[in-house]
Copies of this chain bind each other. A is one copy, B any other.
């Protein structure tokens, strides 16, 4: 039976739901309203438009076959009535109408609906500080903002940029400005690591160091107090100093646009976001919602979660399209997969970090490895770092974070675990996951299987590790105290460090350890080091077997030490 479906919002989820529904129910009518001037664009592409890798902003609105998704396109090709610059100001659930205001004329009309879809998205978070409204301060929230930023940069008047916030978009913008335009970029972050909340201090430290080498400056653990300037932004004042900048980008997250839903009496999370069931239906059975304006179930914690990502919007949009047409499609929830390209590095993750697991009240353990990402004899291998988070006791896998130079490979490892997470797998499932093997693409024991194995050893008490961040803190101290650093690589690698750091660094090759046990002090905390953590684990087994009580292995070994930029 033909219906009239109204969709509020036409950026990501709205168009997807509209088109899917129309394919299933060609005789129905779809009216899609958006307060913006341009609709159906890939906002995630803005950093690549700013960098110049994408030359025209219209490319972000184009289909894969180069048709720009204008209202005319939706009308002609999709038979969808798309109306930009039209804001919905109210939903009347009893009358089943929405009040739409045309922004250019100010005229209002009531549009009836059989089914309604709320796809109002999110808004960039504002900072309650003086100077936030100065010219030259930009959020990265829509194509108009993108054009303003790019126009300023191409005009040549910008030499330096301060970026407030080191989440995905903040860092992608930093890369765009530094790599493509050669600008002086400073990233200011409130937390003491970049990518807070999504990755570990160790992996964040590696990414941080790489970006610094590429010329981006960072100021961590600094709170922005004001933006100052003479008629335009000229500097950012923090609690620790001043950053001079010709332009300021504010990228400190987004909040769900749930006010319209709330005003209509729909259930909304107290922490923000419209509440929907697995059919993406709100508390009103005739109203669906999805994308950045809803909360979804986290399939790892089984708790509600706000996860504003364009890919979610697309998948949810299809589910809504199905259900509008009388289908029974489900969106069970999310695991929280992400990835980001930072110059030559790819970083990615899925599920919980150690910190977020602990915040969720889970007794979690993190396992870090740094190793080559394919057969070590294959010439084009690169280092990859993986961190697997698992629950102590149950050995349940909670998440994986990764970093490496072969970005596609990094993302592939994370996606593999992302696919497993909804099934609440054990660490042994990661040890045995049947990833494809061939020397140009993987090692015979894939790095993913290996991190599962190492985690299993740690959770079983057979291995005990400290991460490279902890090693770095120890190594920085002038007095190592009870710690005894024992390098179990061959002499050719270990001896130069013994000579460089007499009394601080010791070397017994792993193959000689059983014969040279007497050299290892029994009253010290032994910290074992090798190249990647493999031999130090073997040495740990030997020492534990010989009755040594306080022995740990540095996870990822010298490879991780190097990637983290710790001077040894």
Would A407 and B541 be within 8 Å (CB), given that A377-B60, A432-B331, A436-B348 are in contact? no
A26-B546 Cα distance, complex, nearest whole Å: 10
A310 touches B26 (CB 8 A): no
Name the B residues within 8 Å of A519 (CB-CB): none
In the complex, what residues of B have CB within 8 A of residue A510's CB? 77
A490 within 8 A of B: yes
Known: A411-B441, A449-B315. A26 touches B545 (CB 8 A): yes
Closest to A27 in B: B545
A12 at interface, CB cutoff 8 A: yes
Complex contacts, A23 vs chain B, CB 8 Å: 462, 538, 541
Q: Give 23 A-B contacts (CB < 8 Å), ordered by A residue.
A: A12-B444, A26-B541, A42-B439, A48-B439, A48-B440, A53-B378, A64-B531, A65-B489, A73-B511, A311-B445, A336-B434, A338-B436, A339-B436, A339-B442, A341-B438, A350-B436, A406-B408, A412-B415, A415-B433, A415-B435, A418-B433, A418-B436, A419-B434
Q: Known pairs A64-B532, A315-B449. 8 more at Cβ < 8 A?
A: A42-B377, A44-B375, A311-B434, A311-B446, A336-B434, A412-B416, A419-B434, A420-B420
A339 to chain B: closest residue by CB: B436
Q: Is A502 interfacial (CB 8 A cutoff)?
A: no
Question: In the complex, are the beta carbons of B337 and A444 less than 8 A apart?
Answer: no
Contacts of A433 in B (CB 8 A): 415, 418-419
- A253 within 8 A of partner (CB): no
Report yes or no: B535 in contact with A442, Cβ–Cβ below 8 A: no
Closest to A340 in B: B438
CA distance A12 to B375 in the complex (A): 14
Contact B376 A64 (CB under 8 A): yes
Q: Is A67 an interface residue (CB 8 A)?
A: yes
Q: Which residues of A contact B (CB under 8 A)?
A: 12, 16, 23-24, 26-27, 42, 44-45, 48, 53-54, 59-60, 62-65, 67, 73, 76-79, 168, 172, 309-311, 313-315, 318-319, 329-332, 334-341, 346, 348-350, 371-372, 375-379, 406-409, 411-420, 423, 428, 431-442, 444-446, 449, 453, 462, 489-490, 510-512, 514, 530-532, 534-535, 538, 541-542, 545
Q: Are A439 and B26 in contact (CB under 8 A)?
A: no
A411 to B314, CA, bound (A): 23
Q: Please give the distance in Å from A257's CB to the nearest CB on chain B.
A: 19
Residue of chain B at shortest CB distance from A377: B59
User: Closest residue of chain B to A331, judged by CB?
Assistant: B432
Once the chains bind, are B375 and A332 in contact (CB under 8 Å)? no
Task: Report the minimal beta-carbon distance from A560 to chain B, rounded to whole angstroms.
Answer: 14
In Å, the complex CA distance between A309 and B435 comes to 12
- How far, in angstroms, from A433 to B299 measured CA to CA in the complex? 12
Q: Are B440 and A407 in contact (CB under 8 A)?
A: yes
Name the residue of chain B whose CB is nearest to the CB of A542: B26
- Chain B residues lying within 8 Å of A414, measured Cβ to Cβ, are 436
Query: How many Å lie between the Cα of A140 and that of B64 in the bound state?
Result: 44
In the complex, A85 Cα to B372 Cα: how many Å?
32
Of B379, B530, B545, which is within 8 A of A65 by CB?
B530
Q: Is there contact, CB below 8 Å, between B65 and A438?
A: no
Shortest beta-carbon distance from A471 to chain B in Å = 19
Using Cβ atoms and an 8 Å threshold, which residues of chain B touch A462?
A: 23-24
Question: A516: shortest Cβ distance to chain B, in Å?
Answer: 12
Q: Which residue of B lies closest to A310 (CB)?
A: B444
**CB within 8 A of A341: which of B440, B449, B535?**
B440
CA distance A378 to B416 in the complex (A): 23
Residue contact A445 to B42, C-beta cutoff 8 Å: no
A24 / chain B contacts, CB cutoff of 8 Å: 462
Write out the residue numbers on chain B whose beta carbons fall within 8 Å of the beta carbon of A339.
436-438, 441-442
Kindly identify which residue among B65, B442, B545 contacts A311, using a CB–CB cutoff of 8 Å.
Answer: B442
Is the beta-carbon distance between B350 and A531 smaller than 8 angstroms? Answer: no
How far is B437's CA from A350's CA once the two chains are assembled, in angstroms? 11
Q: In the complex the two chains form, is B545's CB within 8 Å of A337's CB?
A: no
The interface residues of chain B lying within 8 Å CB-to-CB of A545 are: 26-27
Q: Is the CB of A309 within 8 A of B54?
A: no
Is A375 touching B438 in the complex (CB atoms < 8 A)?
no
Most chain B CB within 10 A, of A48, A434, A441, A541, is at A434
Distance between Cα atoms of A348 and B442 in the complex (Å): 12
- State which of B64, B348, B409, B413 has its C-beta within 8 Å of the C-beta of A371: B64
Known: A377-B45, A439-B45. A411 touches B411 (CB 8 A): no
